[in-house]
Every structure is written in structure tokens, then in C-alpha cells.
Amino acid sequence: MDVVQLEGTGPASPFAAELARGELRTYLLVNDREIDYLNRHITHRSLVPTRVRIPLPPGTVRPGANTAVLRQVPLKSDPREFDDCGVLGIALEAE
């Protein structure tokens, strides 16, 4: 998927500590199964569209209808504060 302004987990990220504690994360769920969090795949806030590739475990995608959901986790100190990132597109790439 292509994302913009997603907080990264690198040491220079202003929110590295919060992300390490599980806050401000944006998770990918496929068919109600948590796969991974997007922030782990970049080191710093993406100010331009950045491609994030998350491998899916075998058997995640099944024949017929499938769902992909992004779920965000807020700051513990302010449950109304989320990472205000953008998603420009989601695609499934097959090898």
C-alpha cells in the first residue's frame, strides 16, 4: 500500500517511544486476522507517498470475498490522539 505521513519507528522519529510501547500504531488485519503494523516498515514519517509491503502468511487470503481493515491505536495519555496518516491505495501483489 502507499502511505503518507505515517510515523516511522526509527530512532530519529519523534514518536519512536510511543510506537515501541504499542501506541500510535496502524495495524493491517486481513479477514479479521491481525497481520502486522505498518509503522514497523518505515523509519521516519513519510512526507511523500511511500510504498509499504507486508507479506501475508500462507492461507490468509481465501477463495471468494476477503476483507482488509486498517485499525489504529491511540496514545494512552490521550485516547483521542491517533496517527493522522493517509493511505493512497491498497493492492494485493502475487509472487
pLDDT in tens, 74-83: 999 999 999 9
Would you state the pLDDT for residue 94? 77
Q: What is the pLDDT of residues 10-66, one digit of tens each?
A: 998 999 999 999 999 999 999 999 999 999 999 999 889 999 999 999 999 999 999
Q: What is the 3-state secondary structure (H, E, C) of the chain?
A: CEEECCCCCCCCCCCHHHHHCCCCCEEEEECCEEEEEHHHHCCCCCCCCEECCCCCCCCCCCCCCCCEEEEECCCCCCCCCCCCCEEEECCCCCC
What are the sequence ranges of the domains in the chain? 2-76
Would you state the pLDDT for residue 46? 81
Would you state the pLDDT for residue 26? 97
pTM over 0.75: yes
